[in-house]
Amino acid sequence: MSQSFDAVVVGAGHAGIEACAALSRLGVNTLLLATNLDTIGAMPCNPAIGGPGKSQLVKEVDALDGVMGDASDHTYLQYRMLNSSRGQAVQSLRAQSDKAAYSRWMRTYMESLPNVTLRQGVMNSLIIENNQITGLKLAFGETIKTRAVVLCAGTFLEGLIWIGHETMKASRQGEFAVTGLSDYLKSIGFVMKRLKTGTPPRIDGRTIDYTNLVKVPGDDDIEFFSNLDNRPVFEQIPCYQTRTTAQTHAVILDNLDKSPMYAGLIEAVGPRYCPSIEDKIVRFKDKDSHNLFLEPEGRSTYEIYLQGCSTSLPIDVQKEIIQSLPGLSNSVMMRPAYAVEYDYLPAIQFKHTLESKEISGFFAAGQILGTSGYEEAAAQGIMAGINAGMYVLDKSPFVLTRDTSYIGTLIDDLVTKELSEPYRIMTSRSEYRLLLRQDNADTRLTPIGRQIGLISDRRYKIFCAKQESFSLEMKRLKDVKIQPKPNVNAVLEKYQESITGPISLYELLKRPKIDYRAIEEISPQGFVSFPYGKEISVEIKYSGYINRQKRQVELVEKLECQIIPVSLNYHDIVNMSVEAREKLARIKPETIGQATRISGVSPADISVLIVYLEAMKRKV
């Protein structure tokens, strides 16, 4: 039995969904192959979307007409803006999601897509001719003809779950691992390595005493992830905060030998920025307590996610830990925590398009490339899907750079740096974070998405209307001048400001203590409410810093434009360090700019490389 599709997406997690949806929008006939169609868009770990750095990715995926933001907006339990007291560059939206509703919404959405066929099945191997994908083989002997494959296998490859010293083959609790595919990928030349992640226990919310716990409600003024219209407004459900105690720490330290990580049974490296609770206690001995959060998993379940308490200790020890926490002394554990080891493909084997450097038409995205988090997976998925579509349609690749997006930063880090632990995006990863705020993602990315045929008419109409209103308001702020009248200064006094002469609203908004609410209060009669006040305020207040970063971008672009020939033999460059030659030869950067970001390649090595390339040009 053989079927034919232009592209096949293997895996229906957050990466696979975005890849498949992007291919659909580009008009590419696509098969979505899932190990289990009932777990499309599953949230096996934290039922939440967003957070520092991650919300910027979600906004950017949405700006490219992606799915994650829309799904989050339709299934949220609460929305909160994190770091709201800090600068706009690091403010981050976070949604607590209804886990089951999110997955159902995603399943319905995927079934509604044109050009997409859903199929339950497991990939065994690729069919390759002349280093190009021509198809793939499934378990039970089926073959699929295709020009492009996007592998989004998550933690499924040779997955191994650990609880204490007990282990079983599984990708996530209750789901089987995919065995054999790793060995096949190795046999065709790929390097595979091992990583670890984990998840906390789940608690029966009816057995928790919330009386003395800190309540964490959602924001009164909700901001959404998606720029699409008609966002639903739901009653928000609060989270709660508890803390570890001296008893908690004692239980963990007394049982470290039962942890598979500390016993040396797990050799894979886990995520640095999401450590297990036992790792926190050992690494931060000076802290006598750690925050933990009780987060609801849905509107139709009592199940509570104990955020911050990831562990692989035995179940009896987990129960002791939980019952040592304030409010949880009589609680009942519904699902135990566990760690999972899995195989992944180091991303330096892939281009910035997320296509294999060796096999044309083979793309990968998500945790299989060494990242952690739903948002990182979605960002890679949409880019792999777009580029698989460009490949099938014989069009130019679509690459986002570091100065245009967090997506570009994420992918550039993955394919140019040899990572030893699961990669997590953070605002500190970007040198251009003032340019790459979550509030201007659509301004940055929607126009270029429209150019390649990715953006729907509905989204583009909404985008154009927003841009027009933004321009009109910017003009009004510059044109309207206010006088130092008593009623005006009465308003300004609330912001510890005053004026002594005429001033434009634009110049007034530049002042640090003045926000857009003040502008609304003192605007002359006839002012119509403007919904993007926060965004326009940021553009005005930080205009000097923004222009400075734009000049930095212009300087860096010169290096990004200097192409390195694919055939360059780095071992011929005798004046370059041995480490630099080895790393450049292995990673094969496409430009000088990319070469500068490879660890172990010094500025002196870059200077030698530039001189060598100039000498090559003169010989030609």
Asked whether residue 263 falls in the same domain as residue 336, the answer is yes
Band (pLDDT 50/70/90 cuts) for residue 620 is low
Chain centroid offset of residue 3 CA: 33
Report percent pLDDT > 70 for the chain: 99
Band (pLDDT 50/70/90 cuts) for residue 476 is very high
The residue with tokens 């007291």 is 85
Asked whether residue 47 falls in the same domain as residue 179, the answer is yes
pTM value is: 0.92
Q: Is the pLDDT of residue 427 over 60?
A: yes
pLDDT tens string 138-159? 998 899 999 999 999 999 999 9
With CA atoms as reference, report the closest residue to 407 among 427, 380, 389. 380
* In-domain check, residue 247: yes
Q: Considering its fold, how many domains does the chain have in total?
A: 4
| Domain CATH number, residue 91 | 3.50.50.60
CA distances from 316 to 180, 204, 319 (A): 34, 17, 5
Contacts for 430 with CB less than 8 Å, ≥ 6 apart: 402, 406, 409, 436
Asked whether residue 44 falls in the same domain as residue 96, the answer is yes
Asked whether residue 130 falls in the same domain as residue 207, the answer is no
What Rg, from alpha-carbon coordinates, does the chain have? 26
Asked whether residue 358 falls in the same domain as residue 328, the answer is no
Q: Is the pLDDT of residue 1 over 60?
A: no
With CA atoms as reference, report the closest residue to 145 among 158, 133, 159. 133
Q: What is the secondary structure of 271-334 as a DSSP string?
A: -TTS--HHHHHHHTTT-S--EEEEEE--TT--EEEEET----S-HHHHHHHHHTSTT-TT--EE
Band (pLDDT 50/70/90 cuts) for residue 248 is very high
* In-domain check, residue 89: yes
Given a contact cutoff of 8 angstroms between Cβ atoms, the answer to whether 154 and 366 are in contact is yes
Whole-angstrom distance, CA of residue 64 vs CA of residue 70: 12
Q: Residue range 228-254: average pLDDT?
A: 96
Count Cα neighbours of 447 within 13 Å in the Cβ-side half-sphere: 7
pLDDT tens string 398-415? 999 999 999 999 999 999
Structure-block tokens of residue 290: 């750690």
Amino acid symbol at 176: F
Asked whether residue 371 falls in the same domain as residue 337, the answer is no
Say what the pLDDT of residue 121 is. 95
Structure-block tokens of residue 208: 């928790």
CA distances from 506 to 81, 477, 523, 543 (A): 26, 5, 11, 12
Band (pLDDT 50/70/90 cuts) for residue 420 is confident
Asked whether residue 18 falls in the same domain as residue 56, the answer is yes
Residues of the domain holding 507: 465-545
CA distances from 210 to 205, 289, 290, 381, 526 (A): 9, 19, 18, 39, 49
Instruction: Please write down the HEC assignment for all residues of 494-549.
Output: CCCCCCCCCEEHHHHHCCCCCCHHHHHHHCCCCCCCCCCHHHHHHHHHCHHHHHHH
Structure-block tokens of residue 464: 């154009």
pLDDT tens string 344-387? 999 999 999 999 999 999 999 999 999 999 999 999 999 999 99
| Domain CATH number, residue 271 | 2.40.30.260
Q: Residue range 252-270: average pLDDT?
A: 88
Q: For the chain, what's the residue count?
A: 620
The residue with tokens 């870059």 is 606
Q: Is the pLDDT of residue 610 over 80?
A: yes
Domain finish residue from 421, 451, 481: 451
Asked whether residue 539 falls in the same domain as residue 591, the answer is no
* In-domain check, residue 7: yes
Whole-angstrom distance, CA of residue 319 vs CA of residue 164: 13
Q: Which helix (H) or strand (E) holds 392?
A: helix 374-392
* In-domain check, residue 168: no
Say what the pLDDT of residue 91 is. 86
Chain centroid offset of residue 116 CA: 24
- Decide the pairing of beta strands 92-97 and 123-129: unpaired
* In-domain check, residue 550: no
Report percent pLDDT > 90 for the chain: 76
Asked whether residue 121 falls in the same domain as residue 12, the answer is yes
Asked whether residue 142 falls in the same domain as residue 22, the answer is yes
CB atoms within 10 A of CB 575: 11
Q: Which helix (H) or strand (E) holds 451?
A: helix 441-451
| Domain CATH number, residue 610 | 1.10.150.570
pLDDT tens string 98-147? 999 999 999 999 999 999 999 999 999 999 999 999 999 999 889 999 99
Whole-angstrom distance, CA of residue 23 vs CA of residue 25: 5
| Domain CATH number, residue 495 | 1.10.10.1800
Say what the pLDDT of residue 542 is. 86
How is residue 51 annotated by DSSP?
A: -
Given a contact cutoff of 8 angstroms between Cβ atoms, the answer to whether 295 and 304 are in contact is yes
Band (pLDDT 50/70/90 cuts) for residue 463 is very high
Say what the pLDDT of residue 600 is. 81
* In-domain check, residue 166: no
Asked whether residue 334 falls in the same domain as residue 356, the answer is no
How is residue 372 annotated by DSSP?
A: -
Sheet holding 143-145, edge to edge: 2-4, 143-145, 132-138, 123-129
* In-domain check, residue 165: no
Band (pLDDT 50/70/90 cuts) for residue 42 is very high
Domain finish residue from 515, 545, 575: 545
Domain finish residue from 341, 367, 386: 341
* In-domain check, residue 161: no
pLDDT tens string 508-561? 999 989 989 999 999 887 787 888 998 999 899 888 888 888 887 887 788 888
Asked whether residue 117 falls in the same domain as residue 15, the answer is yes
